[in-house]
Every structure is written in C-alpha cells, then in structure tokens.
Amino acid sequence: MNEADAARQFGFDGEVVPGVGFAGTCVTAIVRPDGVEVRRREHAGLGAVLDFNLTDRLADLPVDLPVPRDELDRVTIQLLETAPPGIVEDTDTFVIRRWRPAVTVTGVLLVAGRQWRAGLASVSLFAPDAPRGLVLRQSPRDEQALRDEATELGIGVVAPDADGTWQLLVEPLRDTTYDLGPRHWRLLEIAYLAWRERVYTERAVQLFR
C-alpha cells in the first residue's frame, strides 16, 4: 500500500508530502495548503519560517491586528525588525503580524516493518499535532497486542494479513485539543518547506516534458 492509499484508509484529507523531518523522526505529512497565504508569501518572497525564536514571539501577536510597539519588549522588537519581509508590517507606532501558517497538517504517517513498537513510539511524537497512522509493510506478530497498544495511543494502523490483503486494524483518534502553539507552527513550516520543494520539482519536471 502506498502512502496516498494509506492516507485515504485513515481518512486524512490533503496532499501527501513525504520526507518531513521533525523531532528526529522523518514522516509523511498529509497537508492542505492555504492558497491565499501561499500566494501572499510568494508575492513577498517569503519561504518557510524556521526560526523557532521568531515563531515563539509571533505567538504573542494577533494576526492582522495592530499591536503598539511600546507594548512589546526589546528582544521581541529586535527579532521582528530583523525578520524576513512578509512576516510583519512594522511602523513607527504599531506592529502587525501578517504571517500565518501556509499549510494545515491533517495527518501524519509512518511506514515501518515488523518493529511496530518502534513505529508507534516514533509517530507518538506527533500526538500534540495531528491524527497519526502507522503503515506496516509486513503482517504483524502479536496482532492483538498491536491493536491494544495502538488503540491506547490513538494511532491508526494498516497492515497486510497473511494473504497480503491490506486491513485497517485500528482507526486513528481524532483529537479536538491539539496544541497549536509555536512547536506546532514549526512543524507546519517544515511541512510547508517539503510541500514547496515537491511542487517546484513537479513544475520543473513538467517544463522538461
């Protein structure tokens, strides 16, 4: 089963973006781009924003609303003054945050072999961020233990049975209380970077056909 098919099995809606490295783990993210923000960034020449200190400070600013400069500490002002164009609009008296995430992550996938416990541990790192799914390339030993542990963690699992037919063993948990703070924003920016690189690669391939 490929990752696009697995995403459909889990009900993750969006574009499949492999190679998203975060917290020492490489996963496939399922993303929905925000077309308005993508175009705004392209117009401003702004790519992915990977400076954690910057996004941490941006978390204190409302989007598209002016904040008086005298309400901000000096460290925040220095970070914003040196931020790439397109992140904030800065005047003598106000700062307006224009940056917002350019993608939403609707699910995270990890492909693993028989070592399903290691796979569960790795994809568990994304519990604060999005629904998670584990794709096993081989029929698991101790299937009931796998089902029990994955269910407890809220991780979906698909795997082939003894005949090679793919089965949805566990439905992924869809939480409503994901942590959408700076850590999550960093994941979104890394996913956006990977999505952008894939889009530009596909465009280049089309040009040479």
Region of residue 11 (left: phi > 0; alpha: psi -120 to 50; beta: else): left
β partners of residue 66: 96
**Would you place residue 206 in the very low, low, confident or very high pLDDT band (cuts 50, 70, 90)?**
low
* pLDDT over threshold 80, residue 201: no
Tell me, what amino acid is at 10? F
* pLDDT over threshold 70, residue 110: yes
User: For residue range 20-69, what is the model confidence (pLDDT) as tens digits?
Assistant: 999 899 999 999 999 999 999 999 999 999 999 999 999 889 999 999 99
Tell me the CA end-to-end span of the chain in Å, nearest whole number: 28
Here the tokens at position 142 are 């101790």
User: For residue range 112-169, what is the model confidence (pLDDT) as tens digits?
Assistant: 987 899 999 999 999 999 999 999 999 888 999 999 999 999 999 999 988 889 999 9
Element (H, E) at 159: strand 155-160
User: For residue range 94-103, what is the model confidence (pLDDT) as tens digits?
Assistant: 999 999 999 9
Neighbour tally for 59: CB within 10 Å: 14
- Say which residues have a Cβ less than 8 Å from residue 44's Cβ, sequence separation at least 6: 85, 86
List, in sequence order, the alpha helices (H) in the chain. 3-10, 35-44, 52-58, 74-81, 116-123, 143-153, 182-207
User: For residue range 72-91, what is the model confidence (pLDDT) as tens digits?
Assistant: 999 999 999 999 999 999 98
